Amino acid sequence: MVSKFQLSQQQWLVSFFQHLPNPAFILLDDAAHQLQLVAANQAFLGLLPDIVSLPASLADIRLPADWSTQLKNQLNLLSIDVPCSLELKIRSQDSYRWFALSLQLHLVQQQRFYYAVLTEVTEWRQECKQLQQKLSDIERLKNRIREQAIRDPLTNLFNRRFLNEFMERELALARRNQKPLSLVMLDLDHFKQLNDQHGHQTGDQIIELVARNLLRQSRRSDILFRYGGEEFLILLPNTTALQAGHLAEGWRAQIEQAQVFAREQQISVTISAGVACYPEHGTTAFNLIHAADQALYQAKAAGRNQVVLL
């Protein structure tokens, strides 16, 4: 039942609400905990299905079920005379409209009245969604640019620039965990001669082939870099020098067996490798790389196509 207070004030409230540009209404939570509309303006009623003008009795109007469910879930959380804001989703034909709902609870003669004003935020939400999409696109672009900055474009291995940053982190981990960190420096044998004889395109194909073989034969924990030109560097965390030497020998043998052709002529491709390990061969990135480079130089001097451990 609608209270005398409600009936006496309804005309004044409706008149007041009619001057508001936004949809506005007052709800009564009755004894059966059903939400009754006791005052509303035309802007609000226009949101309700099949209503084009003010009815004779607002009490006869029942809010759509989805509205009532959304509202009831929030109204139970309200405190008396403490305003709050929430969002209300309203179905409109084949889509939804979103409204920011400003609510305030008042007790009048032990009855709970909810004063509410709606502000449509559908376009704002769409703009926020579009902005979020743009921010996501920017983040993906940043990640792609960063990947391009740290990757070698020919082999897709990490480049030398990233090695300087990454190796310091791996060395710090090795120190903290007191674990070995091995480094293998690889170099293609007689690469300048291959380039001069068969052309730079064939040279690029050989570098790509070596990179693919290294990736295929390496462990998930190994980190591969194209160090420069025909040189490759592999970091092997938690790996001793002896273990690294065995791995490097496997890479060497695999590449030696690979078949490479240029103008229907088979080309012999071999690599030499030098191995160094933290901490016995150095405790800094510079010292370790220098030690591996020295081992590589010894492999070249000893006839190439071999692995040398310091």
Q: What positions carry a catalytic annotation? A: 230
Helix H or strand E encompassing 223: strand 223-228
Residue 158, both tokens: 């990490």
Q: Copy the structure tokens of residue 48.
A: 């309700």
SS3 81: coil
Of 17, 41, 96, the C-alpha closest to 64 is: 96
Q: Which two tokens stand for residue 29?
A: 């939570």
Return the HEC string of 92-140.
Answer: ECCEEEEEEEEEEEEEECCEEEEEEEEEECHHHHHHHHHHHHHHHHHHH
Determine the Cα–Cα distance for residues 191 and 203; give it in Å rounded to an integer: 8
Place of tokens 């510079």: 286
Beta bridge partners of 276: 183
List for the chain the helix, strand, coil content (%; round to 5): 45, 30, 25
Which pairs from 9-15 meet CB under 8 Å and 24+ separation? 9/39, 10/38, 10/39, 10/58, 13/38, 13/39, 14/39, 14/40, 14/41, 14/54, 14/58
- Ramachandran quadrant class, 264 (left: phi over 0; alpha: psi -120 to 50; beta: rest): left
d(CA 36, CA 52) in angstroms, rounded, equals: 19
